[in-house]
Amino acid sequence: MHDAKILFFAMYIFLLFPKVRMSGIHETRYNFMVEWYDDMASVTRRFYLLYFISNDTIELIEAKNGRTFLKRIKCDGVTLKSIYIGSTLNIFSRQMKVIDYGDGFTRETFSKITEKTYAMLKPESVPYLGKILEEIYSRGFKVTNAKMCLMSEENAKEFYKEHEGRTFFPTLVQHMSSAPVVGLELMGGNAIKAWRQEIGPTDVQQAKDEAPTSLRAMYGINKTLNGFHGSDSPESAERELEIFFPSKSSSRQSVPKSTATFENSTCCVILPHSIEEGNLGKIISEIQGASFDITAMRMFYLDKTDVQEFYEVYEGVVAEHNGMVGQLISGPCVALEVKHPSCKNQEEIVNKFRLLVGPSDPEIARELRPISLRAKYGVTKVKNAIHCTDLPEDGSLEVEYFFKILE
């Protein structure tokens, strides 16, 4: 019993201090609190996730008793870039959500470089969605949530309530509820201040004169149709993110609705590895550049049950089925509803979009269709950049799965 107490105290000291002595050398590691729902026991378990930067290895310590749950080991897909508050990690087939920092050193180190803000593409910017996402990534931000939606007048009034009573308020509300917008949760160093700097002055002409590389200078039209919104404080960011991405415990009754139409459309899912590699904007740019319309978009963090259900048709048929499931739960994916103005029915749009995406094996795609998306962004048959609907009769069903069932 005495030895057990000593062991527990030693583990507590190990967790408390961010630098541990290994073979006479101080080694830096970061500490995060994660939780995992254990299906077998029907309980949520919490762990300290230790990340060692010298060789990108991890270790899991049970928070309740200090016991080692997973000895120090490298885990594919778990990198320092993938660990942040709210992220979901696939640790040897267990989906663990990062819920807090595990010590003061980690909190102090990460709180500023992983600050989150709310960003919005107003209706006039949405047609340039892909190019703007490319700019967002190139300017050092990471998209950690995304949703194309249509704001009601009630949503718009709530969002811009600080402007209520001003002469431009009715026009602003009418404009913001007239067409789809794209809400984004962005993460980066001092993200709130940095994003407002990147979008530039409210007045587009002023932006063009004083900040010609700002996003408003590039995509804005005038002072009202200036293309973008950015939170001005941590409090505003928290409030605005809750409007568009309410927490599970939220009691909100009115949330901006999805823009999915479920008619003459097909489903596209941009896989986690594509997003991790920074290709989200590039892929969407190519889709829009090929004259396809993106009529709905949402970022999802899927669990294994959801993915197994979605990929059920491939089980026992496609040899890569288990790998496909593992890839889709390994991080955030982005689902799209896609249309084309020339396609008059489900069969036409499914087949036309499949041509753009290319064969499921990227190696074959590079041989047969080198301009296809999988040829350009795919890596393997599992990491092939994109899932697209295979059969015309499944087009609406797959769109409904993401934008009705999962939402």
Q: Which residues are catalytic?
A: 229
Query: Letter for the amino acid at 404?
Result: K
Reported as type and span, the H/E element at residue 148 is strand 142-150
- What is the rounded radius of gyration, in angstroms, for the C-alpha atoms of the chain? 23
Please report, to the nearest 10 degrees, the dihedral formed by the alpha carbons of residues 284, 289, 293, 298 taken in order.
10
Collapsing DSSP to helix, strand or coil, 139 comes out as: coil
- CA separation, residue 24 to residues 20, 21, 73, 162, 271 (Å): 9, 6, 20, 58, 42
Contact in structure between 346 and 392 (CB atoms under 8 Å): yes
Q: Which of 231, 201, 228 is nearest to 135 (CA)?
A: 228
CA dist 389 and 267 (Å) reads 6
Contact in structure between 215 and 154 (CB atoms under 8 Å): no
